[in-house]
Every structure is written in C-alpha cells, then in structure tokens.
A and B are shown apart, each in its own frame.
Chain A
Amino acid sequence: MTRWAMVADLRRCVGCQTCTAACKHANATPPGVQWRRVIDMEFGEYPDVQRAFVPVGCQHCDDPPCLSVCPTTATRKRADGIVTIDYDLCIGCAYCAVACPYQARYKTERATFAYGRPSEHEVQRRDDARLAVATKCTFCVDRIDAGLDKGLTPGVDPEATPACVNACIADALAFGDVDDPASKVSRLLAENQHFRMHEELGTGPGFFYLWDRNDERCDEMQEQAR
C-alpha cells in the first residue's frame, strides 16, 4: 500500500514562506487563503526564548474529522491517504471547517483579487467551482497523479511532488510514501524524533514534525556503515 505523507523538519524551517507562495502560485488560491502556511511561534520568556516556524495545512489524517461530518460525501479519502473535496457536491455548509482541528479549510464566498481588479493571471486561473465551497490543501494531488502516470516518483521527481516541497529553500519539507521503508520520508522518520500535531485527538495526521535527531538510530546506521 501507499500512504502519502509530509514531513516538516522544524530545525530547518526558517519561516521564509516560500512554500506558501509556491502553493498560492500552483493552486491559484485567492487572497487570504493559504493552503500551506507557516506559523511563527514563540516560546519561553526573555532571556530564555525560542522561536519555531511551523508549516501547517491539511494533515490528510488517517481518520479525518472532516470526512465523517460532511453531509454530502464531498470530502473523501483516497486509498493512498489523500483527503479530497468534490467541489460539485459540496454545499458550503462549513461543517468540515469547524470539525477540522488544524484550521485547514477555507470557504471563499465571492471572487476576490489581490489588487482589487483581477489581474490577467487571476482571470486565467479563475475557477468559480471553488467559490462558496470548502477548499484546502490537496497535497497537489493532480501533480502526484500525473507524475505517477508518467512513471515518476512523488517526493523524488519534482514534477510529481507537491509545489511547497519543491519550493522549500531549506529542504525542511519532504514528501513521500511512509509505507515504503526506502522513501525519504521513512528515512527521515527513522533517523529523527518526531511528533504529529494534536495527536491526542486520534486523527492520525499524515504530517510529521521532526524536532531532534534519533541518536540510537543514527548510531545504528553509522555502525552499519562501518
């Protein structure tokens, strides 16, 4: 089986928001809608303070709360773990938006443009099917599917990889199949200590955060290398 997942290395993310911009460019989201965003978090009190930049968005959960509440079946989960929305079925009730513990869903009532009047680019990319319905990160599912059709590997070949991962300047974001032990995401998860956001809710997010190296595992790997 394949289970697509994303890994964010919190030690590497510098909060440049290039992933956010790349996502907006790839998916033509309107102003105020950021399917991939980066939260700037501060901890502690002066002088002992820490700062972390945390990429967030749809976590493509194993048990998505948005899926079970959706009255229309517009929200679906594919066998590979990607949670999708059928814009033609969605009624825009926003129940999924209040059910999502990751604030990943947006509803835009009417077309809005970055500078008031629509630019040429915005006219070209306009999609009224996404108005007044729920929208969110799709893990760039179109790129993944098109890439797979060409025999490419998502997470390895940029053409088949989500735009935010391709754009990351610090190599903080990685994408791949966690069920494949040889994938980059599996290797990162093995070599590092990680957690998932709001894990206590039992949603099983497909988005992992790395926070420190896994010393035992690193020693093992160095031993094997020798």
Chain B
Amino acid sequence: MSFGANPWQQQSWDWRAAGNFMCGGAGSGLIVGAALSDAPAWLLLAGAVLVGLGLGSVWLEIGRPWRALHVYFNPRTSWMTREAMVAPLLFAAVVAASFGLPLARIAAALLALAFVWCQACILQAAKGIPAWREPRLVPLIVATGLAEGAGLLLLWAAFTQGATALQWLFFAITMFARWLLWVPWRGRVRAAARALVALDRAGLVLRASTLLALAAAATAITVPLPDEVTRLLQALCGALACAGGAWFKFTLVTRGAFNQGFALARLPVRGVRR
C-alpha cells in the first residue's frame, strides 16, 4: 500500500477477484441464454461450472478460506452474502433443469440474472473506488455478463447446428446494450487520470469488439455466404463478445480501480491569512 496522498490502484483484490466477475458474469449469461433459447441442458451445467470456477477463484483470494461459510452471515446489507446465497439456489435450479423438471429453466435463468446483478452491486457498493461506486456500473456489468454468455452460446452453436433466431436476437440485444451502457457510465466516472487511461483502453476494446461482433453478426445473418463462412463469423462473434467483456472486467478490477486518495477541503491557516 502506498502512503502518499494521491490515488493509487487498490491492492486488495487481484486477478482472483477479477476471475469471479469474469467467470460469474459469463456463466450467468450462458445460463440465461441457454434457458431462454431451449439449448441443451449441458450448456446450463457449463454455465454453472463457470459460476463455480469464479467462486473458486475468489475463494483462493480470501485470507481465511476455511471460514468461507461465514460469508452467509450478513444478507441484510452485504451483496457478497446475497451473491453467495443465490449461488447454491442457481446450482440447484440448473441441476433440476438438466433433469428436465418443469419451470426449472425459467428459475435458473432468473437466478442467473440475480447472481450477475449481485456481482454488479458488489462493485457498486465499494465506496472506496470511484470507478466502481458510480451507480450506472450496475446495468453495464449485467449487460456485459449477459453478452459474454450470449457469445459463448454462439460459439457453441458455431460448432454444432448453428445459432437459432432467438440466440442471434439475445446476442444482438445484449451486445447492443453493453455498447450503449458504456457511455453513460464512463461519462460519470470521476477517477484518477491513470485509472481513466486504463478504463478508456479497456473501453476501446469493449466497444470495438462489440461493434465488430455486431457487424459480423449482421453479415452472417443478411449476406448469403457458404455455411462454413457463416459459422466462422458466428464463432468470431462469440469470441469477440467474450474477450471484450472479460478484458473490461479484468481491467476494471486490476487496473482501473484507483482509490480516491486523500484530499483537504481547506488548507490550514498558519500565521497571516491568505
């Protein structure tokens, strides 16, 4: 930890915490997309595995891992507790859906949405980090997670039967949403210059990958191309959606998370007043 007055990148959360937001968002998005588009049940399981990997990643970061169950003690105010409470329900719904239980897919989709919402609120509740505490980060993180899930769905479809109209629609809506939601969030972030440089670089990657993916999607849907090319474009869409979102969240946690530093509202008056 630095001892200066100027803001510095927080050192408490590293790639392990970022991994939770990357895997958790993408896994939740995959569950939502797969549940809505009637995709095979194993895709829901894959989404749950991703969510589990994310939680495992953050478990590696906590100082007292064998006390991890204490995380359930504060559902009243802590979004981390709420995230931890949603996770087992989500896993149960996914397992139920894989056994073909009625309504389990809908429950899994809703719980996955709740999970990614909790993750977004975890960041927003951290008042110490100006880039995180801006409320417009919440919809952006949710949209990014869903877009990554939609991308994974397209990647899977590219190597199997091809994407359905519903999957394309889910992809287009979530990608457009993340592209759109970046602007109001970034416009309101007041953070250290070095944090903004890192965030803008990640934002450039996020928005460029989003636009490229949307352009590739439009080409794949509207232009009559050989099946192999269409599938290649489809896979490109999925890869761009995942890579752009993951890089943004990684940067948000590990490079753009400068604290506020210390500041004096007034300077001390010594001797003659200025």
B268 and A11 form a contact (CB under 8 A):
yes
Query: With A and B bound together, what is the CA distance between A201 and B190 in angstroms?
Result: 13
Q: Verify if A197 is at the interface (C-beta below 8 Å from B).
A: yes
A107 and B73 form a contact (CB under 8 A):
no
Which of B62, B63, B127, B270 gathers the greatest number of chain A CB atoms within 10 Å? B127
A100 and B128 form a contact (CB under 8 A):
yes
A39 and B126 form a contact (CB under 8 A):
no
A73 and B74 form a contact (CB under 8 A):
yes
Query: With A and B bound together, what is the CA distance between A134 and B1 in angstroms?
Result: 14
**Which residues of A are found within 8 Å of B61, using beta-carbon distances?**
93-94
B3 and A39 form a contact (CB under 8 A):
yes
B80 and A107 form a contact (CB under 8 A):
no
Q: Verify if B159 is at the interface (C-beta below 8 Å from A).
A: no
Q: Mark A199-222, 1 if CB is under 8 A from B, else 0.
A: 101010000011111000000000
Interface hits, A93-112 → B, CB 8 Å:
93-95, 97-103, 106-107, 109
A98 and B126 form a contact (CB under 8 A):
yes
**Which residues of A are found within 8 Å of B65, using beta-carbon distances?**
91
Segment from B143-151, B202-210, B259-267 that makes contact with A = B259-267
Query: With A and B bound together, what is the CA distance between A41 and B261 in angstroms?
Result: 11
A72 and B70 form a contact (CB under 8 A):
yes
**Which residues of A are found within 8 Å of B5, using beta-carbon distances?**
39-41, 54
Query: With A and B bound together, what is the CA distance between A32 and B80 in angstroms?
Result: 28
Q: Verify if B77 is at the interface (C-beta below 8 Å from A).
A: yes
With A71-B81, A91-B70, A98-B10 already in contact, the answer to whether A39 and B125 are too (CB < 8 A) is: no
- B117 smallest CB distance to A (angstroms): 16
Query: With A and B bound together, what is the CA distance between A89 and B125 in angstroms?
Result: 21
Q: Verify if A34 is at the interface (C-beta below 8 Å from B).
A: yes
Segment from A62-70, A154-162, A163-171 that makes contact with B = A62-70
Q: What is the chain B residue whose CB lies nearest that of A100?
A: B128
Q: Verify if A56 is at the interface (C-beta below 8 Å from B).
A: yes
Q: Verify if B211 is at the interface (C-beta below 8 Å from A).
A: no
A133 and B3 form a contact (CB under 8 A):
no
With A71-B84, A72-B74, A93-B71 already in contact, the answer to whether A198 and B263 are too (CB < 8 A) is: yes
**Which residues of A are found within 8 Å of B64, using beta-carbon distances?**
90-92, 132-133
Q: Verify if B129 is at the interface (C-beta below 8 Å from A).
A: yes
Q: Verify if A10 is at the interface (C-beta below 8 Å from B).
A: yes
Which of A43, A91, A201, A203 gathers the greatest number of chain B CB atoms within 10 Å? A91
A101 and B128 form a contact (CB under 8 A):
yes
Interface residues on B, range: 35 or more
B127 and A65 form a contact (CB under 8 A):
yes
Query: With A and B bound together, what is the CA distance between A40 and B88 in angstroms?
Result: 48
Query: With A and B bound together, what is the CA distance between A32 and B2 in angstroms?
Result: 10
Interface hits, A8-41 → B, CB 8 Å:
9-11, 32, 34, 37, 39-41
Q: Verify if B42 is at the interface (C-beta below 8 Å from A).
A: no
A41 and B79 form a contact (CB under 8 A):
no
B125 and A69 form a contact (CB under 8 A):
yes
- A84 smallest CB distance to B (angstroms): 15
Which of A65, A94, A102, A203 gathers the greatest number of chain B CB atoms within 10 Å? A94
Query: With A and B bound together, what is the CA distance between A8 and B57 in angstroms?
Result: 42
- B178 smallest CB distance to A (angstroms): 23
B1 and A99 form a contact (CB under 8 A):
no
Q: What is the chain A residue whose CB lies nearest that of B17?
A: A94
B12 and A101 form a contact (CB under 8 A):
no
- B3 smallest CB distance to A (angstroms): 6
11 chain-A/chain-B pairs, Cβ below 8 angstroms = A32-B1, A56-B262, A65-B125, A69-B125, A71-B84, A89-B73, A98-B10, A98-B132, A99-B128, A195-B265, A201-B127
Given A72-B73, A74-B70, A213-B269, 12 other A-B residues pairs in contact with their CB atoms under 8 A: A39-B4, A39-B5, A41-B262, A43-B264, A71-B78, A71-B80, A93-B80, A94-B63, A98-B10, A100-B128, A198-B260, A199-B265
Instruction: Please give the residue numbers on chain A whose beta carbons come within 8 Å of chain B beta carbons, in ascending order.
Output: 9-11, 32, 34, 37, 39-41, 43, 50, 52, 54, 56, 65, 67-74, 89-95, 97-103, 106-107, 109, 131-133, 193, 195, 197-199, 201, 203, 209-213
